[in-house]
Structure 1
Amino acid sequence: MNPKVLIIEDSNIMSRLWEMTFENEGFKVLVANSGKDGIQVAKKEHPGLILLDLMMPELDGFGVFESILADEDTAKIPVVFFSNFSKAEDREKAKRMGAVDFIIKSNILPDQLVERIKEILAGKSFLK
């Protein structure tokens, strides 16, 4: 059985695309369209993995991740940053914080993303 994946993404179009992609592969998908909502969903639903957009209004992905890490109920949930931006310092910050991957949206096809997430859920980390 595939675990729940929480997608925290402020773009409705992008979140719907990824939601359908994961549902088609048998995942249960939760979606939050803001960082604050994402934190609440993570606390309530305890997903198996969080796919987290970096650039969001009000609370960016790093702020969301800090809140997730600060709560003992959510601190161990694997987090994958998912961004359109590829600054080396963002990737390094994500790594230092404990993210398991940092994926550039434009560099990955939907089926590749699903396979990558399956590998992460099986215990592989891509940020080294």
Structure 2
Amino acid sequence: MSKIAIIEDDPIINQMYRMKFEADGFEVQVADNGRDGVSLVQHMRPDIILLDIKMPEMDGDEALAVIRKHDWGKKPTVLVLTNLGEEEAPKNLRSLGIHSYIVKAELTPTQVVERVKQALAGQ
């Protein structure tokens, strides 16, 4: 069973994606801000991270920079899941080793699950 960490500050979106991924057989844990997301990744050691950008306490790019500094943070595949257009995103995201950039409003949850499965197949 693949493990996925969802780091997203909107509780409705967290719940929606948690239910969708659990229904597809994933082990899911969520964090609602970047600081808690770093701790979640450290303890969970997920295969995939779905990461929002704009969050309280620590934005997604800052959290990912902290995660990637550690051995335990180098392995997870990261998919940025945000409503910011890619041109609005922090410029350092690509250098932090993200797999893909997904605008939430452009894909259904089912399509996001398919993207995650494709990313896992490519690991």
Segments ≥4 residues shifted beyond 6 Å: none
User: Where do 5+ consecutive residues of structure 1 fail to align?
Assistant: none
Contact persistence 2:67–2:74 (CA under 8 A): yes
- 2:64 maps to what in 1? 65
CA distance in 1, matches of 2:36, 2:60: 12
Alpha-carbon deviations, 1:33-72, whole Å to 9, x = none?
Answer: 1111111111111001100001101200000100110111
| Number of the residue aligned with 1:4 | 3
Q: Which letter does structure 2 place at the counterpart of 1:115? A: E
The amino acid of 1:29's aligned partner reads V
TM-score by length of 1: 0.90
The 8 Å contact of residues 7 and 50 in structure 2, kept in 1 or not, is answered as yes
Task: Provide the aligned C-alpha RMSD in A.
Answer: 1.5
Q: Measure the CA separation in 1 of the matches of 2:122 and 2:101.
A: 16
Q: Which runs of 5+ in 2 are unaligned?
A: none
Report percent identity of matched pairs. Answer: 36
Q: Aligned residues, how many?
A: 123
In the alignment, which residue of structure 1 is the partner of 2:76?
77
2:36 counterpart residue number: 37
Alignment pair present for 1:55 and 2:59 = no
Indicate if the aligned counterparts of 1:91 and 1:102 stay in contact, CA closer than 8 A.
no
